[in-house]
Amino acid sequence: MQSKSILIPLTFLLLTACGSKQNNDTSGDTLTGNINIDGSSTVYPITEAVAEEFQKIEPGVKVSVALSGTGGGFKKFGRAETDINDASRPIKHAEDSIAKAHNVRYVELIVAFDGMAVVVNPKNDWCNDMTVAELKMLWEPEAQGKIKKWNQIRPEWPNEEIHLFGAGVESGTYDYFTEVIVGKSHSSRGDFTASEDDNVLVQGVASDKYALGFFGLAYYEENQDKLKVIGIDDNNADNGAGPILPSMETVKNKSYAPLGRPLYIYVNSTAGKRKEVQEFVRFYLNNTNTLTAEVGFISLTDTESTEAKAKWESFITSLSSVQ
């Protein structure tokens, strides 16, 4: 019994010692602080990569990145609970109003381009492309409970159930996909496996012969051995006739339509006044091209990149003048 009573305070001592070791690194010129980031699971891999590399050169700054989805992230961002929001679609009017109501001003920065990939299982040998109209028929709200089999889309396809996987409702990917495919944002059938975590979707499609799913191109690029991407035909000969597969070129030259889109980060004004956040965003914009390629997205052109950096710098200056 006696040895037990020594053990508890000893463990406590050990833990607090280990825990507080982190805070002792305050040498004069290194940055310190906490940066709180949330939002899109599509943008997450880039932000995660940037955060990791940034923390290697500035170990005094703690960056935490969560993935509640673009919508979920904006809710927190609007309430000033996060410093930066990753977003795979622009901020909506309603979300902007919430931000205004909490006195949150922000800047929108483009960091990369994404093509949303529509994927099927590698064992799927019948489906190589789909038109936008077919996708709409498959995903619109009216399809709920009714469009269940492959041969309802094209009669030559198998008489088997389609198992659908897609982004969840908090996801910007979901909003964007529904807007350009169904025609109305946030409007789709509800009977599919929905997840804000794209990894779950990859796993789902990769293990199911009759699956079909959509998510950011990066997740396809990273799992090419497990997935098969299909071409999308938007019936618009102007930007390339026939079905187009997503790739660096087709997203950049806009022939992979309508599923190509910019990816953003939104930085709030209070955070923008802090030195560590300024350095972090500078680092982000300087390195996004190298890191996006690693992660699987499409990087900005030099013009776009310079524009973004200039936008950030002018935002910072505008903050310091409004004290």
Partner 1 sequence: MSIKEKIIEGLLLMCAAVSILTTAGILWVLISESSVFFRKVPLSDFLFDTQWTPLFADKHYGILPLVTGTLLTSFIAIMVALPVGLSIAVYLNEYAPKSFRRTVKPVLEILASIPTVVYGFFALMVITPFLQQIFPTMAGFNALSPGIVMGIMIIPMISSLSEDALYAVPTSLREASYGIGATRYQTSFKVLVPAASSGIIVSVILGISRAVGETMIVAIAAGQQPRLTFNPLVPVETITTYIVQVSLGDVVQGSIEYQTIFAAGIALFALTFILNNVSFYIKKKFQEKYE
Partner 2 sequence: MSRRIDYNRIQDNLFRIVGIGCTLFGLLMLGFFLYSVISEGWPRLSAQFFTSLPSRKPEEAGILIPLFGTIWVMVLTSLISIPLGVASGIYLEEYGKKNRLASLIEINITNLAGVPSIIYGLLALEIFVRILGLGKSLLSGSLTLALLILPIIIVATREALKAVPKTIREASYALGATKWQTTWFQILPASAGGIVTGVILAISRAIGETAPLIVIGAMLYITTLPSSPMDDFSVLPIQIFNWLSRPQKGFIINATAAIIVLLAITFILNGIAIYLRNRWQKKVKW
Can you give the binding site for partner 1, defined by CB under 8 A?
A: 38, 68-69, 71-73, 75-76, 141, 144-145, 160-161, 163, 168-170, 184, 186-197, 200, 203-204, 206-211
Tell me the C-alpha distance between 318 and 122, whole Å.
Answer: 51
**Number of residues forming the site for partner 2 (CB under 8 A):** 32
Cα–Cα nearest to 292, from 248, 245, 258, 226? 248
163 lies in the binding site for partner 2 (CB under 8 A): no
Q: Exposed/middle/buried for 138, CB within 10 Å: 0-12, 13-18, 19+? A: buried
Candidates 3, 5, 6, 18: give the one binding partner 2 (CB under 8 A): 18
Output the smallest distance, CB 83 to partner 1, in A.
16
Whether 193 and 204 have beta carbons less than 8 Å apart is answered as yes
Q: Name the residue with tokens 């390339």.
A: 240
25 lies in the binding site for partner 2 (CB under 8 A): no
277 lies in the binding site for partner 2 (CB under 8 A): no
Q: Using CB distances below 5 to 8 A depending on partner kind, what does residue 230 bind out of partner 2, partner 1, none?
A: none
Q: Using CB distances below 5 to 8 A depending on partner kind, what does residue 209 bind out of partner 1, partner 2, none?
A: partner 1
What is the CB neighbour count within 10 angstroms for residue 49?
18
Tell me the C-alpha distance between 230 and 117, whole Å.
Answer: 8
Q: Using CB distances below 5 to 8 A depending on partner kind, what does residue 250 bind out of partner 2, partner 1, none?
A: none
Q: Using CB distances below 5 to 8 A depending on partner kind, what does residue 118 bind out of partner 1, partner 2, none?
A: none
Candidates 55, 144, 185, 305: give the one binding partner 2 (CB under 8 A): 55
Q: Using CB distances below 5 to 8 A depending on partner kind, what does residue 55 bind out of partner 2, partner 1, none?
A: partner 2
x/- string (CB under 8 A) for partner 2, residues 95-134?
Answer: ----------------------------------------
User: Would you give the DSSP letter of residue 149?
Assistant: B
Strands 211-216, 260-268: pairing kind: unpaired
Provide CB contacts within 8 A for 39, sequence distance 6+. 67, 68, 69, 70, 72, 73, 74, 77, 82, 84, 85, 86, 87, 172
